[in-house]
Amino acid sequence: MNILVTGGAGYVGSACLRHLLQLGHKAIAYDNLAQGHPEAVPAGSFIEGDIADTTRLTQVLQEMDADAVMHFAAATCVGESVEHPEYHYANNVAGTLSLLNAMRAANVERMLFSSTCATYGDNPKPPMNEKTRQVPCSPYARTKLAVEWMISDFASAYGLGYTLLRYFNAAGASPDGMYGEDHNPENHLIPLVLQVPLGQRPLIKIFGDDYPTPDGTCIRDYVHVDDLARAHSLAIEATTPRTHEVFNVGTGNGQSVKQILRACEEVVGSEIAYEVTARRPGDPPALVADPSKLKKELGWKPRYEQIEDTIETAWKWHKSHPAGYGTT
Cα 283 to its chain centre, rounded Å, is: 17
Looking at 140, 167, 179, 211, which residue is catalytic?
A: 140
* Sequence-ordered strand ranges (E) for the chain: 2-6, 26-31, 46-48, 68-71, 110-116, 161-167, 169-171, 204-207, 219-220, 222-224, 244-249, 255-256, 274-277, 286-287
Q: Which residues pair with 246 in a beta bridge?
A: 164
What's 86-152 look like in SS3?
Answer: HHHHHHHHHHHHHHHHHHHHCCCCEEEEEEEHHHHCCCCCCCECCCCCCCCCCHHHHHHHHHHHHHH
Half-sphere exposure for 159 (CA within 13 Å, toward CB):
5
Q: Rounded CA gap, 228 and 226, in Å?
A: 5
Question: Is position 140 annotated as part of the catalytic site?
Answer: yes
Q: Which of 187, 179, 192 is nearest to 14 (CA)?
A: 179
216 Rama class: left (phi>0) / alpha (psi -120 to 50) / beta: left
Query: Angle at CA 171, nearest 5°, toward 204 and 196?
Result: 25
Q: Catalytic site residues? A: 140
